[in-house]
A and B are shown apart, each in its own frame.
Chain A
């Protein structure tokens, strides 16, 4: 069962990374404009530079 000694920390670490990433995205306001994000993906920025 010695394998648990490092497998459990690895599992917790990976879970923790996910949690931290979520909390960061929440804090940086990525959940404030969900409809906008869905639409912004359609904006083709490379194209604009050629036109303008």
Chain B
């Protein structure tokens, strides 16, 4: 035992040291992040005040839901839960590792929730509280329901099949008496009928819904076949007939439910990842009461005229006018410009922008839906409504498949009635036709491919948000890119690093790490910034000042550092920062929003594949032209407002083009919603991620190519699957119409075709492995 324990310990340690080199772990994630890069992106997480989010349950205990960052392994779960449980007033602390959420329940008497969660945050696990009502997802509920239906169908299918096999064996050996056969049929019926009534509900509901809307989908023939098969089998059993289809009806449901469940599970996984990104950005507002005290409330509670305090690093909750304070505001989400704008008392500021350098007090002018953000949301919703409703491939096929099958069954019924004279027998044959043509393989053709495709994309960090996104993407012929944050990384980096001595860069980094200004952050990223902490004073909109070994050091704008306008001989347009040390010449840092590392290759590749590539940006003309020429994009458009972008897409659409929009800014959201299909990086504004059909993580733009590749491969596979299913029908239908199909043949044929379709779909996974090695 002792030895085993020791080994476990070693394994854990080994795991830990491995994790350290990557991203983890076990307490001290922040300290670690700091060691690797001085301005670890961790402070970008908003630690909203949890007080506003604590709720009370029916027993009078307080509960809180939060998201947890930096959780990577079993040790993290243990550390977080034990840290919380060590507080005597905590009743329950439970981490959900799959969704990265934490549920906390405690006795509220005399306990401040901030003190409760502080130890966990101090360990390096940032907690972001969220409103649990915001994500009560219908999908998760549907998932549980499907799983339950799947269990019931599976149970019934296994047991009924067991009995059916006995009956078929009895038919072959010809020594089973009719009494025994009827007995087995009755038991099959007693299992199958309730199972069909319960497990068939997802299909029945959807079938009734589309029939009510006057359309057809795959669920109509499915429901009809299942109900008729069960009903006819019951009638046969009562008349002690020879052939019953109880096994076919429940097995059919079982197979189809598997497809449906997989489809739903994959989507809910993607959805929960997207939701999580959204929730990370939800914040509370700190309002200033008339007596000067602060109070944290939810954003909805803020009314116009309220004074709101915005701390450094917080997003503005409302539109407003600055009352007190001077600061820099990052407006990149709204305009797409990477440099922050400087604001002071009297300036208008907008919700969704980020406060960078100093606390601000603003008076709210517009709140909620009336903010600039709200306007963009409305524009987006309008665009979404205008988007032609896409009819999914499977439904389009069902549109002609279902009537054809029903006509065929009706024809069989009439034909047999006239030829054989007995309507009971004719009905039997008609139902056999319906069962054999029931689109089991057709029903699996799309979901299985989709599950495999989403799985392959998820491994590359691409989330499929829209169920029909892959189908639409495979039809695209034009790709429109946004500039800032899409083709570029959306952050500024030093370009003249070689001209600056390492010592100066490190000094600048030590000063710069104290600010959230993007230029200071860029300097902090470039230099090591190690060494003892420097006392730094920030002058919003101007720069940073510090004392270093008795000398004054300034890092900031040209004027702030006392540099004359003609100081630099080669003035390159673009953002700059100066470092001046008392008694020395000032040093210039120049910055540029760098292209994503593989932007060139990606654009070239896309053009080689025959896509028309456009660039659509809100930025100034000179910047956009440079970039477009650099990347070899002929069609570029600068200074486009959100409505112009939508209009541009409309023009393309009118010209018969199917457009893929790739963008990240808030200003792109309406365009993303109105494009035929859309993709956005995970660094995008939350609203853009909501609008986009796909979200990709990471720095590589090649995700665009990968997604397109997978989309066209899945389209090919879906068509192959449909062909296989039709081939099966071409063979099976004549047999059914001729009346030679027995329940045994139906069961074998159905399973074989479904299996074939599943195996064919799995080839997509093999292809993915082949290409990545």
Contact = CB atoms under 8 A, between A and B. Distances in A.
A8 B5 contact: no
A39 B19 CA distance: 15
B187 A44 contact: no
Contacts of A16: 155
Nearest to A18: B155
A35 B8 contact: no
B98 A35 contact: yes
Nearest to A5: B183
A31 B151 CA distance: 13
B144 A26 contact: yes
Contacts of B73: 39, 42
Interface in A1-52: 1, 4, 8, 11-12, 15-16, 18-19, 22-23, 26, 31-36, 39-44, 47-48
Contact of A11 (B99, B148, B159): B159
By secondary structure, the A interface counts as helix
Interface in B140-186: 144, 147-148, 151-152, 155, 158-159, 162-163, 177, 180, 183-184
A42 B8 CA distance: 9
B95 interface: yes
Contacts of B9: 47
Nearest to B151: A22
B155 A19 contact: yes
Contacts of B74: 39-43
B258 interface: no
Category for how many chain B residues contact A: 20 to 34
B276 to A, nearest CB: 14
B97 A33 contact: yes
A28 to B, nearest CB: 12
Contacts of B78: 43, 48
Given A4-B183, A40-B77, A43-B77, A26 B96 contact: no
Interface string B50-93: 00000000000000000000000111011000100000000000
B191 interface: yes
Contacts of A1: 177, 180
Contacts of A39: 73-74, 77, 97
A33 B147 contact: no
A4 B180 contact: yes
Contacts, number: 66
A32 B98 contact: yes
A26 B191 contact: no
Contact of B5 (A26, A42, A47): A47
A19 B151 contact: yes
Contact of B98 (A12, A15, A36, A44): A36
Contacts of B144: 26, 31
A12 to B, nearest CB: 6
B386 to A, nearest CB: 38
Contact of B96 (A15, A32, A43): A32
A42 B57 CA distance: 32
Q: Which of A23, A34, A42 has the most CB of B within 10 A?
A: A42
B191 A12 contact: yes
A11 B75 CA distance: 44
Nearest to B5: A47
B418 to A, nearest CB: 41
Contact of A36 (B77, B148, B177, B180): B77
A48 B75 CA distance: 12
Contacts of B77: 36, 39-40, 43
A46 B152 CA distance: 39
B103 to A, nearest CB: 11
Contacts of B8: 42, 44, 47
B222 to A, nearest CB: 23
A47 B12 CA distance: 13
Nearest to A36: B97
B152 A19 contact: yes
Given A22-B151, A26-B148, A40-B74, A33 B96 contact: yes
A36 B151 contact: no
Contacts of A18: 155
A43 B75 CA distance: 7
A44 B8 CA distance: 9
Ranked nearest first, the 10 interchain pairs of A and B with the lowest CB-CB distance are A36-B97, A42-B74, A39-B74, A35-B98, A19-B155, A33-B96, A35-B97, A33-B98, A43-B78, A22-B151
Interface of B: 5, 8-9, 12, 73-75, 77-78, 82, 95-99, 144, 147-148, 151-152, 155, 158-159, 162-163, 177, 180, 183-184, 187, 191
Given A11-B162, A33-B97, A36-B96, 11 more contacts: A4-B184, A12-B191, A16-B155, A19-B151, A32-B96, A34-B98, A42-B73, A43-B74, A43-B77, A43-B78, A44-B5
13 contacts: A1-B177, A4-B180, A4-B183, A8-B187, A12-B191, A23-B151, A26-B148, A26-B151, A31-B144, A34-B98, A36-B96, A39-B74, A43-B78
